[in-house]
Amino acid sequence: MVRRWILAITALLVALLAMPASAQSAPAGASGPVKKYRVVMQVSGPDPRGWSQAVNNALLMQRNLGKANVD
């Protein structure tokens, strides 16, 4: 259980650190070019829970950044 939380927190921190500062501080409704994010996720274990966690993280990124902004 603790390992699962550590993995989730690590994935979240990696996702937040990968976002440029301008995307984090842009005001809502600001006009200008929309940044596209290219994300690579790796699951290197045989446990299906790791696969599920990677899919959930990808869906959360799409939900938070917009489907059209994440490849």
pTM (2 d.p.): 0.49
Q: Which of 11, 2, 5, 10 is nearest to 56 (CA)?
A: 11
pLDDT of residue 56: 92
Cα distance between residue 43 and residue 30, in whole Å: 36
Answer yes or no: are the C-beta atoms of 43 and 51 closer than 8 Å: yes
Task: Annotate 15-46 with three-state secondary structure.
Answer: HHHHCCHHHHHCCCCCCCCCCCECCCCCCCCC
Do 7 and 53 form a contact (C-beta atoms < 8 A)? yes
What pLDDT is recorded for position 8? 73
Q: Could you report the per-residue pLDDT of 37-68, keeping only the tens digit for each?
A: 888 888 888 888 889 998 999 899 999 988 88
pLDDT for the residue numbered 46? 87
